[in-house]
Amino acid sequence: MVRSLLNQAGSESNTRHARLSALRRLRGLARDSDKNRLVISTHNAREVLLGILFSETNPNSSELNLESLAILTSFPLSESECLLVSSDPDRISYVISLLSHSSIDVRVNSASLLENVLAGTRSPEHRAEISNHDEVFDRIVGILNYPLTYPRAMKVGIKALFALCLVKQHRHKAVEAGAVEALIDRLADFEKCDAERALATVELLCRIPQGCAAFASHALTVPLLVKIILKISDRATEYAAGALLSLCSAAERLQREAVTAGVLTQLLLLVQSDCTERAKRKAQMLLKLLRDSWPEKSTRNSDYFACSDVIRF
């Protein structure tokens, strides 16, 4: 049946109605179960669907294009399929244009495909070309800011934003698009996996001057990072510690804010926990950085300070 539906959808000799009907049946099957998706993927479905999606790359996309896009978001693309998209400027421009479609479903689906392509593209040049589009960050941040009544927008939005921010030379575009405000405002609402990705994005943006300055100017940044540093997962702890290290290295004011927010207790718990060695190293570096900011009573009463050579002066 799947092969028959793909043949029907991919054949330009069939009526548009028949092709659309076949695509909708395929979409329903893909939604139903992992088993269905596996069966569909073994019939070269992605090749057929990509062919339909890019058969008409104009602003007035047909229902055929949009249905094929919706189905494609159910499957990871192979490296060659990602290259097929990322190496063609017209195809990338078309996918990015769909990020401003009137339908939030289409916007989210195009963001999902874009993230899929970015994640599966090895070429740094191709990834940089995608993130160099001025409008792409604005549109992804807009999806991330969509009301919480549509949680998929937030999930896909943070995946796409993280993938874009892996390209270092264009991270400033994320800051200019309002990513800092969106990340801080949404951080408490993410599920575990998405929270990890959000904190990883925060750490990436804190590594550039514009990002560090933007996070520093948001009143909730430091208190929020301190509050959640141990609450999500080992990876999240590592990213939050890295972000705090960058921020506190940039300004003494932020060091005082971190101490006031209770970072001392959190860091002491972190270095004595089962967290990753990388997280512990970041915590130790942060403790050294903040040594002059600790309240005297805290350092006197801490067994850690008494027995560790991390803070010796």
Alpha carbons 311 and 313: distance in angstroms, whole number? 7
Tell me what pLDDT residue 312 has: 28
Higher pLDDT, 135 or 310: 135
Q: Which CATH number fits domain 76-206: 3.50.50.60, 1.10.1740.10, 3.10.20.30, 1.25.10.10?
A: 1.25.10.10
Is the pTM higher than 0.85? The answer reads: yes
Alpha carbons 56 and 23: distance in angstroms, whole number? 16
Q: How many residues does the chain have?
A: 313
If you average pLDDT over residues 19-25, what whole number do you get?
Answer: 93
pLDDT band of 196, cuts 50, 70, 90: very high
Q: Model confidence over 97-111: pLDDT tens digits?
A: 999 999 999 999 999
Most confident of 5-9, 97-101, 308-312: 97-101
Q: Model confidence over 59-75: pLDDT tens digits?
A: 566 899 999 999 999 99
